Amino acid sequence: MSDTKYEPTPTEPPPNYEAAAQPAPPRPSPLRAPLPLDLPLINSLKDKRVILASASPRRKQLLSQIGLKNLEIVPSTLAENLPKSLSPFEYVLQTATQKAVSVYSSSLNSPTLGDPALVIAADTVVVSQAGHVLEKPRSEADHIAMLKMLRNTTSHKVFTAVVVMAPLASAREPGYALENMVEETTVRFGRDIGDDVLMAYVKTREGADKAGGYGIQGIGAILVDRIEGSFDNVVGLPLRSTLGLIEKVLQTAEGEDLEDEYGADEDDD
């Protein structure tokens, strides 16, 4: 790729950055969508209230790919203001946990919808090689500077925490089962990417609403040389791990209910 020199990056934000940060309407696809996964776990949730505690269209799309299509979208309203002094692992885990607990609590005792059968929350951060958490770009100047930094360093990391909650039928505290995990993926940009390519990508506005300033599932793939770890973790939700968490939390909730109903096994002696 060429390394065309550009004049100093602009200092003023472009007029349509806020508009670019809004979720784009889905585009109709001429291709026939694949059939959903025929799994007992997914089928058991089809007629139940499953909440995604996120407004991310990418997370919704990823979950729909495995058959969770009738999701109720209830974004958390909590301020995401945990101190950046926390490790990336703790930062995303605490943020995702707060989202899940907040949305779960606010969704209980609905007179029309009933209690949720499952709540899924997630949080993703991009962390520079120097250990700094990268937010969404604030302006075009910030955006191009962010991408240059990612190109000029060896690699960066993407951490996603996933938290899932399911209710216990018993009255046992705290009334729900909770499972969580944090997944890490290492991403390396191509060192030969020219400033002209970075500027052209910034002008597409695809990365305007994304932490780190790029979308690996879209045009931003041209920036990425290689990854180590889960691809969909970089998109915003590691599907295989999430599916495992859903299975685990439902088994935990069911096991607690059965134990409450029949009592724990007594020792033989």
Give the residue numbers annotated as catalytic, written as ranges: 123
Amino acid found at 1: M
Quote the Cα angle for 71-77-78, to 5°. Answer: 125
Output the DSSP codes for 22-58.
Answer: SPPPPPP-SSPPPPPP--HHHHTTTTS-EEE----HH
Closest CA to 208 of 157, 124, 137: 137
Tell me whether strands 72-73 and 50-52 are parallel, antiparallel or unpaired: parallel
Helices 57-65 and 239-262: crossing angle, nearest 10°? 70
- What count of Cα atoms within 13 Å lies in the side-chain half-sphere of residue 82? 19
Backbone angles phi, psi at 259, to 5 degrees: -65, -40
Are 246 and 41 a contacting pair, CB within 8 Å? Answer: yes
**Helix, strand or coil, per DSSP, at residue 189:** strand
Decide: 159 and 132 in contact? Cβ < 8 Å.
no
Question: Which residue matches tokens 């180590």?
Answer: 228
Of 261, 240, 267, nearest in space to 63 by CA: 240
| Residue 26 CA: distances (Å) to CA of 29, 60, 75, 202 | 9, 12, 19, 21
